[in-house]
Amino acid sequence: MATVEVSFTALPAHVRTARLVATAVARRSGVAESLLEEVRLAVGEACSRAVEAHRRSCPGEPVRIALTDGAGRFEVEVTDTGARPAHGTGQSAASSGDGQALPPGFGIAVIAGLADHVQVKETPAGTSIRMSWPSAVPAD
Amino acid sequence: MPRTVIWYRHDVRAWSHGWEDFVDLKLDHHTKDGIEIVDVEGEIDVYTAPRLRELLIELVNNGFYQLVVNMEKVEFLDSTGLGVLVGGLKRVRAHDGSLDLVCTQERILKIFRITGLTKVFGIHDTVDAAITARRSEK
C-alpha cells in the first residue's frame, strides 16, 4: 500500500499541488536534499503529461499519484486513464498549445533524465509512469 | 472510483511558502538598447506557461524580434516552459530575430542541459552580457 495517495482533477492548476505533495513526502522519506529538485521536476512532468492525456480523452476522470517509501527507495507512480494517442508514447505536455515546438514524448525523456529508475507501462486503459530514487533506509 | 481532491490555491500557499511570498508567474518587459527584455518571475509549468507564450507571441506580433528572457527569478521550469521558449525562438527566427536567455541558477540550467537545449539557446549570466553578445553578433 502506498504511503500517500493523491487523486486530483485533471486541470493544469493542480499539477503544482502534486509537485508539492511529492516533494514533501520525498523529504519526509529521507530522499537527499540534492535529489528533491529532481523529484519535483520529474513528478511535475509526469502529472503534466497525465493531465494533457485526460483533457484529450476523459476530462472528468482524476489523475492518480501513489507515493511509496520503503526498502531504501522512494517510489512515485503517476497513473492516467487517458486513451493512448494514435502514434508514439503519448503527446508531451511540452508540445501542447505551441504547435510542435518539442517532439512528442519529450516529457518522458526528461523524466528518464531525472529519475534514478523509470518504468513506463502503457495499456489500453492509459499510462502508468513509475519512478524511484534512493531514500534513507528505515531504522530497525 | 478514487475521491477527487482539490487543493485550493490558498491552502497550497499557506502550506508551502507562506501567504506573502507566493508568486505563480509574474511577467514584465521593457526595452534596453533596442532589445526587448522579458523579466520572468515564479514558476513556468503547464498551468502558467500559456501566459508566457501569449506574451512572446504579442511581442513578435508587435515587431519585437530581438528578445532576451531574464530567468533569474524563475523558481521552476518544466518541459511545457521549454516548449514555450523553443516556440518563441522559432517565431523570432522566422523574422531573422533572436531569443537569448539569462540564467545562472543551477536547478534551471540542469533541465536545459539534460535536454540538450544549451546548444539551441544563448544562455548568459546577466542581461547586459546577453545584450553585448547579441550586439557583437550583428
B119 burial via Cβ count (<10 Å: 0-12, 13-18, 19+): exposed
Domain containing residue B27: 23-137
Closest chain A residue to B112 measured between Cα atoms? A110
Domains of chain A: 4-134 (3.30.565.10)
Q: What per-residue confidence (pLDDT) applies to A137?
A: 62
Q: What per-residue confidence (pLDDT) applies to A98?
A: 53
B5 burial via Cβ count (<10 Å: 0-12, 13-18, 19+): middle
CB proximity B24 to A under 8 Å: yes
Closest chain B residue to A43 measured between Cα atoms? B78
Average pLDDT score over chain B:
87
Give CA–CA dist B36/B28, Å, rounded.
Answer: 10
Number of domains chain B is built from: 1
pTM score, whole prediction = 0.84
* Cβ <8 Å between A20 and B50: no
Q: What per-residue confidence (pLDDT) applies to B118?
A: 95
Q: What is the mean pLDDT of residues B72-85?
A: 96
Query: CA distances (Å), A35 to each of A74, B88, B104, in order?
Result: 11, 30, 19
Which residues of A, range 2-61, sit inside 8 Å of B by Cβ? 5-9, 12-17, 19-20, 37, 40-41, 44-45, 48, 51-52
CB proximity A115 to B under 8 Å: no
Torsions phi, psi of A30, nearest 5? 90, 15
pLDDT in tens, A20-29: 999 999 999 9
User: Which carries the bigger pLDDT value, residue A133 or residue A105?
Assistant: A133
CB A84 within 8 A of CB A126: yes
Q: What residue type is A131 in one-letter code?
A: M
Chain A residues close to B16, C-beta within 8 Å: 20
Stretch among A77-81, B13-17, B61-65 having the lowest mean pLDDT: B13-17
What letter would DSSP give residue B26? E
* Cβ <8 Å between B47 and A109: no
Kindly state whether residue B87 falls inside one of the protein's structural domains.
yes
The minimal CB distance from A7 to the residues B2, B87, B114 is found for B2
Task: Return the bridge partners of B35, or none.
Answer: B32
CATH number for the domain spanning B77: value is 3.30.750.24
* Cβ <8 Å between A98 and B84: yes
pLDDT in tens, A41-73: 999 999 999 999 999 999 999 999 999 998 899
Kindly state whether residue B3 falls inside one of the protein's structural domains.
no
Percent of chain B with pLDDT over 70: 83
Q: Which residues of A80-97 are buried (b: 16+ CB within 10 A; e: fewer)?
A: bbbebeeeebbbbbbbbb
* Cβ <8 Å between B3 and A7: yes
The minimal CB distance from B79 to the residues A16, A99, A107 is found for A107
Q: What per-residue confidence (pLDDT) applies to B54?
A: 97
- Residue among A102, A106, A111 with most chain B CBs within 10 A, to mutate: A102
Q: What per-residue confidence (pLDDT) applies to A96?
A: 46
Kindly state whether residue B17 falls inside one of the protein's structural domains.
no
pLDDT in tens, A92-132: 444 445 555 788 788 899 999 999 899 999 988 899 999 99
Closest chain B residue to A36 measured between Cα atoms? B107
Kindly state whether residue B62 falls inside one of the protein's structural domains.
yes
User: Which carries the bigger pLDDT value, residue B87 or residue A123?
Assistant: B87
Q: What per-residue confidence (pLDDT) applies to A124?
A: 86
